[in-house]
Amino acid sequence: MRQADKEELAKGQFEPKHYAILAFVAVLMLYLYRDILTGDF
């Protein structure tokens, strides 16, 4: 496997949509965590 192919594969594993999903989950968890701390459900 050529080095360029490896780099393309590595980039393919971290697409922007994956970051969007991670960001959405992180915000959702923070939102729920804040509700638990404040006692507002």
pTM: 0.47
What is the token pair recorded at 27?
């915000």
How high is the pLDDT of residue 13?
Answer: 64
The CA distance from 16 to 11, in Å, is 10
pLDDT of residue 23: 92
Mean pLDDT of 11-15: 64
pLDDT digits (tens, 9 = 90+) for 15-41: 778 788 999 999 999 999 988 888 765
pLDDT at 24: 94
Instruction: Tell me what percent of the residues of the chain surpass a pLDDT of 90.
Output: 22
Residue owning tokens 């360029």: 4
Query: 19 to each of 13, 15, 24, 25, 41, how far by Cα in Å?
Result: 11, 7, 8, 10, 28
DSSP string of 10-24, one letter each residue: HHHTS-HHHHHHHHH
